[in-house]
C-alpha cells in the first residue's frame, strides 16, 4: 500500500475569470461524456464508451514533426498516457492527435483550464482523450497496477519558497503511486524551468528503486524528448533557468 498524499493543495486557484457561454456549455455537455466515472478505473470500459466526437474531426492528422516520434513511443501503441496538470490542454490534445493509437487521460483542477481543453478537443475532434477535473492524487489510487505507459508532469507549480516545498506535487508517496501504475518500460516525463525543482525531482525519483533516470549526457535533459509540444507555461519562461526535460524510466524490479 502506498503512502497517502498529505491533504495539502499542490495547486493555486481552481477558477479565475468568468467562463464564457461556450465554455459553460462545453463543461455542461461535453465534460460529462468524457469524464472518468467514480470508483476504480476500468480503462477498457472508459475508452470503449463512444466518444461524442468520434469520426468528426481530424483525428490522426498529426503534423510531420509530431509524427516523428521515437521508436519507444510507437511501442506504446494501444497504451495509456496520463497528463497531470494539463493547464489549458494544448499539449494533451496535440499528443492525442499525434498518437491516435494511444489513449490519453488528462487531470486538472483548474476549471478554466478544463474548459480550454474541451475547446481544443472539440476543435481537433480527437476521440482518444478522457478527463478528470480535480486532483491527480485522487486518480492514481483508482488506476490498476501497471496500467499506464507514460505520465507527463509538465511545468508543475514550482512552490519555490522552502516553506512551500511540501506542496510540490513530486513527493515520495506520489512517486510510489506512479511506480505502481506504470508498466515496466513506461516513463515519467517531467519538465520544469526551476533549477531547484529539477534537482528535487531527480533526487526523489532516484531514491525510488522503480525508476532510472534515462539521461546519459547534458543534451538529454537540455533538449525536449522527440515529439514534444511546448506548453503554455514553458513558453512563458517564468522560472529561474532554461527548461529541463527529465525522463524517468519504470524499471522491471522482478
Ligand atoms: C504551472 S501550471 C502548468 C500547466 C501546464 N502543464 C503547462 O505547462 O502549461 C501547473 C498546473 O498543474 C495543475 N496542478 C497542480 N496540482 C495538481 C494536482 N494535484 N493534480 C492535477 N493538476 C494539478 C495546476 O492547476 C496547474 O494548471
Helices (H), 49-194: 64-67, 71-74, 90-98, 111-124, 136-139, 172-181
- Residues of the chain with pLDDT > 90, as a percent, come to 80
Residue 46 CA to ligand 1 centre (angstroms): 23
**Ligand 1 atom having least distance to the Cα of 236:** 9
Determine which residue's CA is closest to atom 27 belonging to ligand 1: 87
**Ligand 1 atom having least distance to the Cα of 13:** 25
For residue 116, the model assigns a pLDDT of 97
pLDDT in tens, 70-113: 567 778 888 999 999 999 999 999 999 999 999 999 999 999 99
pLDDT in tens, 18-61: 899 999 999 999 999 999 999 999 999 999 876 677 655 444 44
Residue 135 CA to ligand 1 centre (angstroms): 9
Determine which residue's CA is closest to atom 11 belonging to ligand 1: 85
Domain 21-250 architecture: 3-Layer(aba) Sandwich (3.40)
- CA dihedral 142→145→149→151, nearest 10 degrees, is 40
Give the mean model confidence (pLDDT) for residues 106-130: 97
For residue 60, the model assigns a pLDDT of 44
For the chain, domain boundaries: 21-250
**Ligand 1 atom having least distance to the Cα of 109:** 25
Give the mean model confidence (pLDDT) for residues 180-184: 98
Distance CA 163, CA 131 (A): 32
Could you confirm whether 157 is annotated as catalytic?
yes
Give the mean model confidence (pLDDT) for residues 182-199: 98
Amino acid at each position: 500500500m502506498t503512502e497517502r498524499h498529505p491533504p495539502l493543495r499542490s495547486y493555486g486557484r481552481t477558477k479565475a475569470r468568468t467562463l464564457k457561454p461556450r465554455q459553460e456549455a462545453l463543461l455542461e455537455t461535453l465534460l460529462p461524456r468524457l469524464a472518468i466515472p467514480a470508483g476504480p478505473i476500468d480503462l477498457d470500459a472508459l475508452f470503449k464508451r463512444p466518444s461524442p466526437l468520434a469520426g468528426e474531426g481530424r483525428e490522426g492528422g498529426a503534423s510531420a514533426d509530431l509524427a516523428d516520434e521515437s521508436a519507444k513511443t510507437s511501442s506504446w501503441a494501444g497504451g495509456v498516457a496520463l497528463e497531470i496538470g494539463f493547464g489549458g490542454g494544448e499539449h494533451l490534445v496535440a499528443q492525442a492527435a499525434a498518437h491516435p493509437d494511444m489513449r490519453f487521460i488528462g487531470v486538472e483542477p483548474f476549471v478554466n483550464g478544463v474548459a480550454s481543453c474541451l475547446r481544443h478537443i472539440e476543435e481537433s475532434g480527437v476521440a482518444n482523450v478522457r478527463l478528470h477535473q480535480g486532483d491527480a492524487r485522487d486518480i492514481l489510487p483508482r488506476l490498476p497496477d501497471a496500467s499506464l505507459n507514460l505520465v507527463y508532469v509538465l511545468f508543475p507549480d514550482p512552490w519555490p519558497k522552502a516553506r512551500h516545498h511540501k506542496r510540490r506535487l513530486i513527493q515520495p508517496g506520489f512517486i510510489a503511486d506512479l511506480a505502481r501504475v506504470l508498466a515496466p518500460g513506461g516513463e515519467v516525463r517531467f519538465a520544469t524551468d526551476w533549477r531547484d525543482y529539477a534537482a528535487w525531482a531527480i533526487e526523489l525519483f532516484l531514491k525510488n528503486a522503480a525508476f532510472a533516470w534515462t539521461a546519459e549526457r547534458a543534451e538529454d535533459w537540455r533538449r525536449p524528448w522527440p515529439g514534444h509540444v511546448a506548453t503554455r507555461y514553458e513558453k512563458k519562461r517564468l522560472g529561474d533557468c532554461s527548461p529541463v526535460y527529465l525522463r524517468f524510466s519504470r524499471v522491471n524490479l522482478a
